[in-house]
Chains A and B, each alone.
Chain A
Amino acid sequence: MELIKVSNIIKTYHLGNSDVQVLKGVSLSIMPGEMVTLMGASGSGKTTLMNILGCLDRPTSGEYLFDGQEISRMSVNQRAAVRNRKIGFVFQNFNLLARTSALENVLLPTTYAEDGLSARQHRQRAMELLDQVGLGDRMDHEPSQLSGGQQQRVAIARSLVNNPRLLLADEPTGNLDSHTSEEVLRMFQKLNAEKDITILLVTHDATVAGHSRRVIRISDGLIADGGAQSQIAAVAAGPAANDVKR
C-alpha cells in the first residue's frame, strides 16, 4: 500500500479580493521505502505541496491519504500528532534551538511524543542517532559551536528520533557548501537504503535531485513529470534527465 497517496489536490489562497489557485489538481503516490525528489522552480507550488504532504497545511479540495489515514479532514491536534510520530522534518536553515546542546535538540520531538517510553529510553535513542550521524563526541555542543554540516546532521538525528515513516527535507543543502551537501545527501541515501526510511527531498537543485531514484517535477501547480509510480523507471534512468528543468 502507498505511504502517500494524493488525488486531485487543489489549494487556493485568498489574497485580497482575488483567489489564487496554487495547486490545480495534483495527484501522486509514493511507496514506502522510496527516496523521491520533489522539484520545481519558485512559484511552481512546490512549497505549498510540501506543506500539505508534511501535514502542516490542508488542501482546499482533494484527498490525501498518508499511511492509510485521511489527512485533509483531520483536526489541528490530530495533524500535530501525525507530524510528531510519523514525519521527520529537515529544514534548509536547520532550525536548531540556540543555546541548547545537540542532545537536547535531538530530544525535542520526544517532548511531544507521549509514546510511553521513559526519558532514559529517549535519551538512549537520541545518543545512538547522534552517534550514527557522526556526532557522538559533540553531544554537549551548542549549535553555535557546530559547523553548518554538523548542525544539519543534528537536525537529521532530530528528525529520526521518533522513528518516523517519512523524512521530509526542505532544501536540506541550501545553506551548505558543495562538499558538505554531498555528505548530507549520502547520509540520506544511507538512511534510505539501510533503515528503509521513505525520504522526500524538496529542492530546486538538480544535483540534489540526482541523488534520488525518482524525481517528481511540479510546474505551475501541476505535476509535470513523475507523479505516478509507473514512471519511476523512466526518471531513474540517469541524472542527465534531471537537468531538463534547469
Chain B
Amino acid sequence: MLKITTTLKTALRALRRNPLRSALTTLGIIIGIAAVIAMVQIGEGSSAAIKQTIANMGANELLIFPGQAVSAGVSFGGGSSVTLTSADAAAIARDCPSISAAAPSVNARMQVVRGGMNWVPQFLIGTTPAYLKIRDWPLAEGRAFGNDDVDGANEVCILGQTDVKELFPSGKPLGKTILVNNVPLRVIGVLTKKGANMMGMDQDDIIIMPWTTMKYRVSGSALQNQNQSTAAASSTFSTGQLYPETSQNLYPVPSATEQQDLPQPVSFPNVNAILVSVPSSSQIPQAITEITALLRQRHHLQPGTPSDFNIRNMTEISNALGHTSQLMTNLLTGVALISLMVGGVGIMNIMLVSVTERTREIGLRMAIGARPADILSQFILEAIVLCLFGGALGILFGQALSMAVKSLLHWPIQMSAPAMVASVAVSVVVGLVFGYYPAWKASRLDPIEALRYE
C-alpha cells in the first residue's frame, strides 16, 4: 500500500478535477448532516425544556423523613421518631457530592390572622434559604430570608399567592405583619405562582419562615392541628375554668419530684423532614447511597440495625422523565439515520457513475503501475473526503438552521457538541460504507478493458 498522504493527495486532485460533481455528491451529505444537527439541537432544546418542566414538579427531589417510634410494640407511624436535625441537613449539603442542596423543614398546621381575615394554610413551613432553590421557586416580589434570619430566629415570612389572596384582598402584603399562633411575622417576600402539585394540593397555599422561628417561636409540634382561638384562649382567658369538665386528666398528674426525676426533653432541634435536590435524576441512586451512609454515621447506628430515617424519591415522575427523554432520543436517532442513509446512497450512486465515467483513468493508472489496492483506497478516500467535507459544511448549515429556528420561531435550542463529533464520525463511516462498493468495483477493472473503454 502507498502512503496514506500520497493516496489522499491523489484523491484530492481527482475531486478537484470535477468540482461540480464533487459539490453535488457532497450536497446529499450536507443536507443529511445539517438536518441531523438542526434536529438534535432543536430536539435537545425541547427535551431540556420538558426535563425542566418535570424537574419543577419535583422529579429531582429527595425527601428524608425520620423513622417510626415504637413504644412497647406500638408503632407511632412513619415520621414519629425524633431523629433528624437541621445539623443533619447542613451535613448532607456539605458532605454529599451528588446533591446540589439540602434544606430542613419544620411543618405545622395552624391559623394565620391578619386584621379581620384569617386562614389556615396548607403548608406552614420553617426552613432555610436553600428551600427555594430546591423547589426552584423564584420570588414575585420582595426578598427571601437569609441565613442570618435563620440564626436569629427573626420574625419574617414569605407568602404564597393563595395566602396573599386570602389574607391581603387588597394586595401589597410586603412589610405588613401577620399573626401565626399569636407570633407577629413580617412579610418580606411573595412567591410566584406554582399551581397544584401531582396530588392536587395547592402548592401556592404556603407560608415559609426560618425554621428556628417556626421551631422556637411559633410551634414545636408538627401535629398541632387545633383551633387556634381555643389554644390562644386557654392561655389568656382560661376556658378550662369556664368548662371544667372538658379538661379531665386521664393520667395521674406527675408530682414535682417525678417531674424533676424524669425531665421531658425541651426544644430538641428536630425537624420534620429534610428536602434534598439532586442535579439530575440519574444521580438519585448515588445520592441516596451517600445520604444513607452519612446519616447512619451521624446517628451512630451499628451495622445491622435498621435506619432511623426513610428516604423517599419521586420514582414515578423520574421514570416519566426518563421515558420522555428516551423517546425523544430514539425519535431523533431514527430521523438522523434515515437522512444519513439517503445521503449515503447519494454518495454511492454518484461514486458509481464516477467510476464508470473514469474507467479510462483507472485503466491508465493500473497500466502505469497502480495496484488494485491503490485504486481501492483512492476511491474510498475520495468518498470519505467528500463526506468529511459535507459533514463540516453540514454542521455549519445545521447550526445556522437551528439559529434561524431559535430567532424566528423562539424554540428552545441547545448546542450539542457530541452531535457534531458524532455526525463527523458518522459521515466518515458513511463514506467508508457507501464508497466501498464503487471503489471495489473500480479496483476490479481489467486495465486492458478499461483502457479501451469509450
List the interface of chain A (C-beta within 8 A of B).
Answer: 51, 54, 56-57, 76-77, 80-81, 83-85, 89, 91, 95, 97-100, 104, 108-109, 111-114, 158, 162
Stretch at the interface among B88-96, B339-347, B367-375: B367-375
In whole angstroms, what is the CA distance A62 to B360 when docked? 30
Judge whether B17 and A98 touch: CB under 8 Å: yes
Beta-carbon nearest neighbor of A47 in chain B: B448
- 20 A-B interface contacts by CB (under 8 A): A54-B367, A80-B370, A81-B369, A81-B371, A83-B367, A84-B368, A84-B369, A85-B369, A91-B451, A95-B364, A97-B361, A100-B13, A108-B368, A109-B368, A111-B2, A111-B6, A112-B370, A113-B369, A114-B2, A158-B368
A83 to B373, CA, bound (A): 16
Residue ranges of B at the interface with A (Cβ–Cβ < 8 Å):
2, 6, 10, 13, 17-18, 360-361, 363-374, 447-448, 451
A109 near B372: Cβ-Cβ < 8 Å: no
B392 to chain A, nearest CB (A): 24
Expressed in whole angstroms, the Cα–Cα distance for A57 and B449 within the complex equals 11
Chain B residues whose CB sits within 8 angstroms of the CB of A76 once the complex forms: 371-372
CA distance A84 to B372 in the complex (A): 13
Q: Across the interface, which residues of B come within 8 angstroms of A91, CB to CB?
A: 364, 451
Q: How far is the CA of A114 from the CA of B372 in the complex (A)?
A: 16
Q: A81-B371, A89-B367 are in contact. List 6 more A-B contacts (CB 8 A).
A: A80-B369, A83-B369, A111-B2, A112-B2, A112-B368, A113-B369
A89 to B448, CA, bound (A): 12
B363 proximity list for chain A (CB < 8 A): 95
Q: A91-B451, A99-B17 are in contact. Are A112 and B371 (CB under 8 A)?
A: yes
Contact of A95 among B2, B10, B371, B451 (CB under 8 A): B451
**Quick check: A77 and B371 within 8 Å, CB to CB?**
yes
A196 to B13 alpha-carbon distance, docked (Å) = 34
Q: Within the assembled complex, what's the spacing in Å between the Cα atoms of A37 and B368? A: 21
Report B-chain residues with C-beta under 8 Å of the C-beta of A99. 17-18
Whether A111 pairs with B17 at a CB distance below 8 angstroms is no
Q: With CB as the reference atom, state the residue of chain B lying closest to A83.
A: B369
Q: What separation, in Å, do the CA atoms of A83 and B365 have in the docked complex? A: 11
Taking CB as reference atom, which chain B residue is nearest A50?
Answer: B448
Docked-complex contact B371 and A108, CB < 8 angstroms: no
Q: When the two chains form the complex, which single residue of B360, B368, B374 contacts A83, counting CB atoms closer than 8 Å?
A: B368
- Complex alpha-carbon distance, A113 and B13, angstroms: 18
Distance in angstroms from A35 CB to nearest chain B CB is 21
- A95–B369 contact, CB under 8 A? no
Distance between Cα atoms of A125 and B368 in the complex (Å) = 17
A93 to B: closest C-beta gap in Å: 8
Known contacts: A56-B447, A56-B448, A80-B369. The answer to whether A112 contacts B17 by CB under 8 A is no
Residues of A within 8 A of B447 (CB): 56
In the complex, A77 Cα to B374 Cα: how many Å?
10
Residues of chain B within 8 A of A111, CB atoms compared = 2, 6, 10, 370
- Chain A residues with CB under 8 Å of B369's CB are 80-81, 83-85, 109, 112-113, 162
Q: Are A80 and B6 in contact (CB under 8 A)?
A: no
B448 and A57 within 8 A (CB): yes
Tell me which residues across on chain B come within 8 A of A108, comparing CB atoms.
364-365, 368
